[in-house]
Homo-oligomer: A and B are copies of this chain.
């Protein structure tokens, strides 16, 4: 999932038609609920170049529908000509994009104007849907736009967390600090797999949505290996820290050791070191570190170093997909957590944690599947342009929506990334 890079997708199959309007309204309203607890000031801060202000996310997801649907209709007049550049993320074929690292310097349009922009676009889209005049292609673009918005919803959570953390008083986004059904961590178990050839990737004959980088479905040879039954916990990671993991260059990739020293890393992002213990910053504010929860907000470098320290390694994305092939998402995904007023936070799950807890770093660098071909035009622009110096993450996180998660989903980030809900699963030969 190209969250960080906004969009990387194409529908590979037909899309649900009957209640497209209801679907549209459900997804769009979630963005509004995510922004609801925030002030206009919260929504305009950009706390680092990789993150974007909430206001920008709200506008950019709307810009998508305006640009790729409404503007394709003859006679449509732009809501505001200046938004074309301002809320373009990186589509060169749609014109020049406003510099990414200056998104926090935009005080105009105001958050109120962005709300009006959303209303305007929503009304036109819904009217059009009601008139039942969309072509099949336009329906696909609409579904794509909603999946695109779901990606940005996850980014809203991670970016808001980072913004709030930048405030010296560490304010909370959510009032409740109760976790959902936290379980005790069970002992790690190792599932052994023989060498096998398996199908990998999205099956285009199925009607469900998938991004184009999930296909074509193809055969992969998986070597004999073992894979862990659950993700690594905070408690296990703490042992790595206490064993001097951050001080021992032999455990790190060369670039990772550079990153440790350049950034002064001593623990995962959002861990707060006290005299004899750690707190962690969550969307519900500061709480004591819960040892049984999966470790989160680690970079690829930290995941890799932890694995080396453990005498293990990270799984490949194919080993991961093979192991998770029958998994189903837990009950603790972003939209459900929000609905039940629980904290958006990974917790130790009672049964399976393959989907929807933390994004799991794999050892696979992000590359095209055999036979992959980018789509034509702006929507397909750059589908492969990020396939360099990024690692694949799998599984979705607690910040992902329940219908935006699946076994074939490929998220990817540079190895130094920490502000996503990223964790660790181990494998072995």
Contact = CB atoms under 8 A, between A and B. Distances in A.
Interface of A: 5, 39-47, 55, 82, 85-86, 90, 92-93, 98, 102, 104-108, 110-111, 163-164, 166-169, 171, 195, 197, 218-221, 223, 225, 249-250, 252-257, 300, 313, 363-365, 367-368, 370-371, 373, 381-382, 384-389, 415, 429
Contact of A168 (B85, B256, B389): B85
A107 B168 contact: no
A167 B249 contact: no
23 contacts: A5-B254, A41-B55, A41-B107, A41-B111, A42-B108, A44-B44, A44-B45, A45-B104, A45-B107, A85-B168, A93-B250, A106-B166, A218-B223, A223-B371, A225-B370, A250-B382, A253-B384, A254-B386, A255-B389, A257-B385, A364-B367, A370-B429, A389-B389
Nearest to A39: B110
Contacts of A107: 39, 41-42, 44-45, 163-164, 167
Contact of A108 (B171, B254, B256): B171
Nearest to A85: B168
Contacts of A250: 92-93, 381-382
A166 B252 contact: no
A206 to B, nearest CB: 22
> How many copies altogether?
4
Nearest to A98: B168
A249 B378 CA distance: 13
Contacts of A255: 388-389
Nearest to A225: B370
A93 B221 CA distance: 37
A194 to B, nearest CB: 13
B223 A110 contact: no
A254 B44 contact: no
Given A40-B41, A169-B108, A382 B254 contact: yes
Contacts of A164: 107-108
B171 A253 contact: no
Nearest to A102: B166
Contacts of A106: 45, 166-168
A84 to B, nearest CB: 10
Contact of A39 (B40, B171, B381, B386): B40
